[in-house]
């Protein structure tokens, strides 16, 4: 039985994130989203912040969008689950789930693509 209260959308977008380690030193990582909802997202990445870490995430939709866009999303979140790769998964499931505390959308104006001459 599905327990999620919000619809997840299979959106692939670039994600850059930062968190403080146990000594208060900023750590950075990057990856891409597997899915996004209003309540959170799953980010596939080799960099994995620990569970319960506060995270700041910048998501850019331009690299994977069919139309050129400068739409970005800034998120303050909490890491709620970390998935490590197993030999059977060959690293495809390595990443983490976050719960959005708040988010803000930036830009979004469609940019005109120049035709190749």
In a domain, 112, yes or no: no
Total domain count for the chain? 1
15-52 pLDDT per residue, tens: 999 999 999 999 999 999 999 998 999 999 999 999 99
In a domain, 21, yes or no: yes
Residue 69 binned pLDDT confidence (cut-offs 50, 70, 90): confident
- Looking at residue 96, what DSSP letter applies? E
In a domain, 1, yes or no: no
Query: How many C-beta neighbours within 10 Å does residue 23 have?
Result: 5
51-65 pLDDT per residue, tens: 999 999 999 988 665
In a domain, 117, yes or no: no
Predicted local distance difference test score (pLDDT) of residue 45: 95
Task: Report the chain's mean pLDDT, rounded to a whole number.
Answer: 84
In a domain, 80, yes or no: yes
Distance of CA 105 to the CA centre of its chain: 14
**pTM (two decimals):** 0.81
In a domain, 46, yes or no: yes
In a domain, 6, yes or no: no
CA distance 2 to 106: 31
CATH number (domain holding residue 65): 2.30.110.10
Predicted local distance difference test score (pLDDT) of residue 102: 94
Predicted local distance difference test score (pLDDT) of residue 109: 56
Tell me the residue ranges of DSSP E strands in the chain: 14-20, 26-36, 40-44, 54-60, 72-83, 95-106
Range of the domain at 62: 14-106
In a domain, 41, yes or no: yes
């Amino acid at each position: 039985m599905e327990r999620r209260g919000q619809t997840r959308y299979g959106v692939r977008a670039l994600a850059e994130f930062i968190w403080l380690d146990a000594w208060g030193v900023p750590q950075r990582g990057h990856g891409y989203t597997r899915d996004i909802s209003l309540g959170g997202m799953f980010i596939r990445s080799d960099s994995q912040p620990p569970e319960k870490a506060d995270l700041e995430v910048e998501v850019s939709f331009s690299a994977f969008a069919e139309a050129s866009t400068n739409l970005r999303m800034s998120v303050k979140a909490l890491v709620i689950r970390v998935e490590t790769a197993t030999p059977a998964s060959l690293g495809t499931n390595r990443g983490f789930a976050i719960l959005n505390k708040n988010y803000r959308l930036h830009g979004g104006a469609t940019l005109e693509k120049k035709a190749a001459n």
